[in-house]
Amino acid sequence: MNTHDVIKRWFDIILSLVLLIIFSPIMVIITLAIKITSPGEVIYRQQRLGRYGKIFYLLKFRSMVKNAESMGSGMLLEENDTRITPLGKFLRKTSLDELPQLINVLKGEMSMVGPRPAPVFHLPKYDDEQRRRLQFRPGITGWAQVNGRVALYWPQRIELDLWYIDHYSLLLDYKILLKTAWTVFDRKSTAAKPDRKDVDPFMKM
């Protein structure tokens, strides 16, 4: 592990701990709200690709009805999908559903900044160049998230991820973190949607 890796990991640990403490009251409120408004588990767990292709469980606050993947369009997420709960719409719009991923970061499965963790079924579709995005821990936010988010098709997201890997620096990470807060609330960044067949199951970048 080189110096940058060590610094990045310690930065992840410290920042995720601080944010978990800051957001813990909000996370408690969200937990209670989900329990009250919708039957089912509070946390939605889905297998994703981690560093070097290792599979881990991505954590999110559940924003859809219980057993949603067995209803309607299955694993495909439709625009204005009726399986998304009213509370879930708010959580997705504000990205508050992503807060449990701070636990993924603390556990070392994710980083604060990096390529977004792809669904497991993506791995066989990657060519050698695209597999390079697995060199880094997946991130809660990343270069693609501050340059388009869901308005981008997956090939475009991968291209931006590879640019991030090729130009990585701690300074770039800080820049991405600073831009993330603005991007989350910038409706223009999420206004355009890719075609339905390009939408990944239960995935919001």
203 lies in some domain? no
Name the residue among 156, 112, 158, 153 with its Cα closest to residue 134.
Answer: 158
**pLDDT tens profile 90-103:** 998 888 999 999 99
Is residue 85 packed enough to be buried (19+ CB in 10 Å), middle (13-18) or exposed (0-12)?
Answer: buried
Q: How confident is the model at residue 34 (pLDDT cuts 50, 70, 90)?
A: very high
**pLDDT tens profile 36-48:** 999 999 999 999 9
SS3 of the chain: the string is: CCHHHHHHHHHHHHHHHHHHHHHHHHHHHHHHHHHHHCCCCCEEEEEEECHHHCEEEEEEECCECCCHHHCCCCCCCCCCCCCECHHHHHHHHHCHHHCCHHHHHHCCCCEEECCCCCEHHHHHHCCCCHHHHHHCCCEEECCCHHHCHHHCCHHHHHHHHHHHHHCCCHHHHHHHHHHHHHHHHCHHHHCCCCCHHHCCCCCCC
9 lies in some domain? yes
Residues 98-126: b if buried by 16+ CB within 10 A, e if exposed = bbbbbebbbeebbbbbbbbbbbeebeeeb
Domains: count for the chain: 1
205 lies in some domain? no
Domain that holds residue 23: 3-196
**pLDDT tens profile 158-204:** 999 999 999 999 999 999 999 987 766 665 544 444 444 444 433 44
201 lies in some domain? no
204 lies in some domain? no
Residues 155-168: b if buried by 16+ CB within 10 A, e if exposed = eebbbbbbebbeeb
How confident is the model at residue 71, as a pLDDT? Answer: 63
Q: How confident is the model at residue 116 (pLDDT cuts 50, 70, 90)?
A: very high
